């Protein structure tokens, strides 16, 4: 497979791979790292032997995420609260580091749901319940039997029961993230409000400095 064609096919899968990685890791920055590692592994592979690129990429990004979860547990990383953005940060003061922290905070609700799951439970739950990947394929990803994977997913469901699991509208989720960045970097609050509530018409006043927002319904 030529490099140009491989790159194009990978880019077509990027959003889906990021969504999978984000659901497993609960962090946009780590999800991007997982997708990048998947791309590197693809480049090191004999692509002419890959029969189903979509399935191959799903398997690889899932295993990369599983390794990252295992490493996170081993390192005893800081608790979830440490990635919360400082409440006093304003739009005008945002720098790339703060943007990364704020973007990660978008995944906190999901992280709360998944934090109680072991890495194997998380992989089984995310791939099957959130992405509708068949159990036999999940079993192949995890190197376990289908029966074992079913048990993991069932156990995960019981643990997250009653917790608000985000819906499957991944396109809308990424639209919100993109709109958030547009608002922080370019002051495009109108786009952000359109994504959050299409019934709201935003009025932006003022020139330099922090914008003054007014909502007209």
Reported as a single tens digit per residue, the pLDDT across 149-173 is 999 999 988 887 765 555 545 445 5
Level-2 CATH architecture, domain 3-170: Up-down Bundle (1.20)
Give span(s): CATH 1.20.140.160, the chain.
Answer: 3-170
pLDDT under 70: residue ranges of the chain? 1-4, 75-115, 162-217
Provide the pLDDT for residue 212.
Answer: 42
Structure tokens at 200: 């709201």
DSSP letter string, 67-129: HHHHHHHHHTPPPGGGGSPPTT--GGG--HHHHHHHHHHTTHHHHHHHTTS-HHHHHHIIIII
Provide the pLDDT for residue 94.
Answer: 42
Q: What is the pTM of this model?
A: 0.54
Provide the pLDDT for residue 210.
Answer: 44
Provide the pLDDT for residue 189.
Answer: 54
């Amino acid at each position: 497979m030529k490099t140009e064609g491989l790159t194009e096919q990978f880019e077509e899968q990027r959003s889906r791979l990021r969504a999978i990685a984000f659901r497993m890791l609960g962090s946009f920055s780590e999800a991007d790292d997982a997708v990048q590692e998947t791309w590197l592994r693809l480049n090191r592979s004999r692509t002419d032997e890959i029969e189903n690129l979509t399935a191959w990429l799903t398997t690889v990004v899932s295993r990369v995420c599983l390794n990252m979860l295992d490493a996170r547990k081993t390192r005893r990383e800081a608790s979830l609260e440490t990635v919360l953005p400082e409440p006093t940060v304003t739009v005008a003061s945002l720098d790339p580091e703060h943007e990364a922290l704020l973007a990660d905070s978008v995944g906190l609700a999901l992280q709360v749901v998944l934090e109680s799951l072991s890495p194997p439970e998380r992989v089984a739950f995310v791939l099957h319940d959130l992405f509708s990947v068949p159990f036999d394929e999940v079993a192949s990803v995890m190197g376990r039997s289908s029966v074992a994977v079913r048990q993991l997913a069932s156990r995960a469901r019981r643990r997250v029961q009653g917790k608000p699991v985000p819906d499957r509208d991944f396109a809308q989720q990424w639209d919100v993230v993109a709109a958030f960045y547009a608002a922080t970097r370019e002051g495009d609050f109108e786009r952000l409000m359109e994504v959050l509530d299409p019934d709201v018409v935003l009025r932006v006043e003022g020139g330099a400095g922090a914008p003054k927002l007014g909502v007209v319904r």
